[in-house]
């Protein structure tokens, strides 16, 4: 690292050290905003999951094609996802759960709260629902699985649909992620504080050195007037006032002594 780069790095740290109160103040403010938003503004959400197995039974004549049939069932999971998200299933689910607390409010809201996942080469897929109420999330999942099982038999002539595991209420919220939100608040506040510090430094037009006048502006230096601390001035004035009061007292006391004599 050459001298120019060293000077630039030192200047950056110098600016940060100069405005350290601004940086920490901004960090504290943003952190408090993150705390308030996380604990008092954001509504906790809960998650519930059910697992479904769909496979088609094979007769004796087609037992040899079992592997191909399993692969076909795996590929059909994408179709099952579309069926679950279709109005055919969700309209019936909505009618059942619309009076529960934490209901998303509409069929579209219900669709957005449902997520469907599957593992590679697995005939089992899971239905997960997020809701502001833990019990409602479990009810929606179980009702969705139940409705899908009833509808898919008629729509696709699938004769073997099993609910592997039903959803149960989970009272541990999955969002907001409190620790992550607070960490983001600290990092954001720190970065904003640094940005504000450099903005203040750039917009500060105060002359702080004689070199700026002579080198940058090309002016002649006639002298330097040192700044005196205001506390020192007050202390100096107070000291002189105290001495003046003593002299006045001495002057007033001297004639009295002469009169007594």
115 and 218 inside one domain? no
Would you state the pLDDT for residue 146?
A: 93
152 and 134 inside one domain? yes
Q: Which of 111, 145, 165 is the endpoint of a domain?
A: 165
Q: How confident is the model at residue 260 (pLDDT cuts 50, 70, 90)?
A: very low
Q: How confident is the model at residue 238 (pLDDT cuts 50, 70, 90)?
A: confident
136 and 54 inside one domain? yes
The whole-model pTM stands at 0.65
- Would 171 be classed as within a structural domain? no
Write the pLDDT tens digit of every residue in 40-95: 999 999 999 999 988 755 555 554 555 566 566 667 788 888 899 999 999 999 99
- Would 35 be classed as within a structural domain? yes
Would you state the pLDDT for residue 243?
A: 60
Q: How many domains does the chain have?
A: 3
Residue 248, pLDDT > 80, answer no
- Would 250 be classed as within a structural domain? yes
Write the pLDDT tens digit of every residue in 8-18: 778 888 888 88
- Would 130 be classed as within a structural domain? yes
Per the prediction, the chain carries an average pLDDT of 80
67 and 158 inside one domain? yes
- Could you list the residue range(s) of the whole structural domain that residue 253 is in? 210-260
Distance of alpha carbon 28 from alpha carbon 22, whole angstroms: 10
Least confident interval from 10-19, 145-154, 205-214: 205-214
Distance of alpha carbon 50 from alpha carbon 165, whole angstroms: 5
54 and 150 inside one domain? yes
Q: Which of 145, 165, 185 is the endpoint of a domain?
A: 165
- Would 124 be classed as within a structural domain? yes
199 and 243 inside one domain? no
| Longest distance between any two alpha carbons in the chain, whole Å | 147
Distance of alpha carbon 35 from alpha carbon 179, whole angstroms: 10
196 and 216 inside one domain? no
159 and 222 inside one domain? no
Q: Which of 184, 203, 222 is the endpoint of a domain?
A: 203
Alpha helices in the chain (DSSP H): 3-18, 20-36, 66-75, 77-84, 87-97, 107-113, 134-156, 178-203, 210-211, 230-260
HSE, CB side, 13 Å, CA atoms: give it for residue 26: 16
126 and 70 inside one domain? yes
- Would 170 be classed as within a structural domain? no
Please, what is the angle between helix 77-84 and helix 66-75, to 10°? 40
CATH number for 58: 3.30.70.1130
Structure-token pair, residue 95: 């009618």
Structure-token pair, residue 222: 């006639």
| Percent of all residues in the chain with a pLDDT value above 70, rounded to a whole number | 72
Would you state the pLDDT for residue 75?
A: 72
CA 81 to chain centre: 31
Would you state the pLDDT for residue 250?
A: 46
Q: How many CB atoms lie within 10 A of CB 186?
A: 14
127 and 218 inside one domain? no
Would you state the pLDDT for residue 242?
A: 64
Structure-token pair, residue 206: 């105060």
82 and 160 inside one domain? yes
Q: How confident is the model at residue 182 (pLDDT cuts 50, 70, 90)?
A: very high
124 and 85 inside one domain? yes
């Amino acid at each position: 690292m050459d001298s120019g780069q060293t000077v630039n790095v030192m200047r950056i740290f110098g600016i940060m050290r100069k405005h350290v109160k601004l940086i920490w103040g901004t960090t504290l403010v943003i952190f408090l905003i993150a705390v308030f938003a996380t604990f008092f503004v954001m509504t906790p959400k809960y998650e519930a999951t059910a697992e479904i197995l769909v496979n088609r039974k094979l007769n004796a004549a087609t037992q040899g094609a079992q592997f191909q049939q399993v692969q076909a069932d795996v590929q059909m999971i994408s179709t099952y996802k579309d069926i679950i998200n279709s109005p055919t299933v969700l309209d019936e689910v909505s009618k059942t759960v619309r009076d529960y607390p934490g209901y998303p409010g509409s069929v579209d809201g219900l669709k957005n709260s449902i997520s469907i996942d599957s593992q590679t080469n697995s005939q089992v897929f899971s239905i997960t629902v997020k809701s502001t109420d833990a019990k409602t999330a479990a009810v929606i999942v179980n009702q969705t699985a139940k409705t899908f099982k009833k509808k898919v038999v008629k729509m696709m002539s699938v004769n073997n649909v099993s609910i592997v595991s039903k959803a149960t209420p989970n009272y541990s919220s999955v969002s907001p992620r409190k620790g992550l939100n607070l960490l983001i608040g600290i990092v954001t506040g720190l970065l904003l504080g640094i940005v504000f510090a450099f903005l203040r430094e750039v917009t500060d037009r105060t002359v702080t050195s004689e070199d700026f006048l002579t080198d940058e502006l090309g002016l002649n230096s006639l002298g330097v007037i040192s700044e005196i601390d205001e506390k020192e001035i007050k202390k100096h004035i107070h000291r002189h006032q105290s001495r003046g009061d003593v002299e006045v007292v001495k002057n007033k006391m001297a004639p009295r002594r002469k009169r007594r004599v």
